[in-house]
Amino acid sequence: MTEPTALLLQRIHAREARIGVVGMGYVGLPLAITFAEAGFQVSGIDVDLGRVERLQRGESPIRHVSAATVQRLVEGRQLQPTASFDVAAKLDCIIICVPTPLTSEREPDMSAVIAAGTSVAQHLRPGQLVILESTTYPGTTDEVLRPLLEKNGLVAGRDFHLAFSPEREDPGNANYGTRTIPKLVGGHSQGCLEAAHALYGSALEKVVPVSSTRVAELAKLHENIFRAVNIALVNEMKMLCDRMGLDVWEVIQAASTKPFGFMPFQPGPGLGGHCIPIDPFYLTWKARQYEFHTRFIELAGEVNTQMPHYVVQRTMEGLNRDRKTVNGSRLLVVGVAYKKDVDDLRESPALRIITLLRERGARVDYHDPYVPEVQRLHGFPYEMRSVSLEPQRVELYDAVLILTDHGSIDYAELVAHAALVIDTRNATGKLKRFREKIIKA
């Protein structure tokens, strides 16, 4: 064990190591809180000055992260939000949790990783540990981040520690959180792995070491591609069941009675969130460098991308049944977040569905108890505010589209006052008495 590694491990075990988390979003903020609650002093670095100021006031920018927790940690100085990277020179461990979206050409956008790595490099000193958590293609830690950090002459594995540990956040999951989800980690060298393993092990319940940063990077992609492919399969099954006059949810429930060799996935209006709609294309892009075509992954992406169009088509068919056209119709979308009981709009298929309906002349409102307003972001061209679900308001719409099955909504009451319901989530599955009003999509 080298002297820098031994000194860092000593500081980690004594809870004296100062930790910095770059990116105070859905991944970084819960991680920073977890380390702060484990007894470390944590700096939360974010280039968004508005977000930093909210955190400094003790406010939470994320709905499922407790503002009371943020306030307690900030007032106790266990969590110190800042927009400056100058603090990086005083840190022992720096964890980068920044977005890795796709470009308009559906290629990896490494700009946030490069910007964060460049800023960290300006303050890098011997003995520090730098970990990348942003989901990315195999080789990013070694090919993109390491050269940035080594520009001033320090060498990874000798002068400083470098590792990759993929985030596994699931916003709104009541059963698993940052502390309890097993943590994969791969190091640039054995000493790097030991340092990263010790850091996460000091705050998380279980750490799983792997042989390299590339293995950890690909394992994360494999996790999300597994979900994307199986969701595409069940979405395709849903469209087939529509043609055959069968209920796909009944089919899934029946198949789920098999106690082995089957895992149920639920269909929906498309893919949403920061991982599943994006991550598979990171691997397809990287695979092309090896003259390998990931046909199965790309086919799944095509199926999932078409789901908003399928929902719009089913809506048009429902309106046509009632002798109405989508052009000029009044429609209410229930749920714009990509999953239930969260406020996350990233890659939400609801935004695409609203856009498609508006392009066809529909007048569209939405209701979401977790999203009071939608602004012109993520490529969405409209500004909208959530409307209420009073019966007299619901009765004014030609159709109601259920895109997210929020637990706080009384769907029986909603359907009772709706003229037509397009249900993409089986939220009305038990409401047999209203079956004439309901179209599954």
Active site residues: 275
Cα dihedral 34, 378, 300, 283 sign = negative
Among 235, 406, 384, 404, CA closest to 309: 235
Strand partners, 102: 108
- Maximum distance among all Cα pairs of the chain, rounded to whole angstroms: 78
Among 131, 199, 136, 135, CA closest to 160: 131
Element holding 332 (H helix, E strand): strand 330-334
Spatial distance between the Cα atoms of 356 and 312, rounded to a whole number of angstroms? 7
Q: In terms of C-beta density within 10 A (0-12 exposed, 13-18 middle, 19 or more buried), how is residue 144 classed? A: middle
Spatial distance between the Cα atoms of 319 and 338, rounded to a whole number of angstroms? 25
The residue assigned the tokens 């979308």 is 333
Element holding 8 (H helix, E strand): helix 3-13
Q: Per the structure block, which two tokens stand in for 379?
A: 């490529």
Spatial distance between the Cα atoms of 340 and 351, rounded to a whole number of angstroms? 15
Spatial distance between the Cα atoms of 75 and 203, rounded to a whole number of angstroms? 21
Is the separation of the CB atoms in 79 and 46 below 8 Å?
no
Q: Per the structure block, which two tokens stand in for 298?
A: 């790309």
CA-based Rg of the chain, rounded to a whole angstrom? Answer: 24
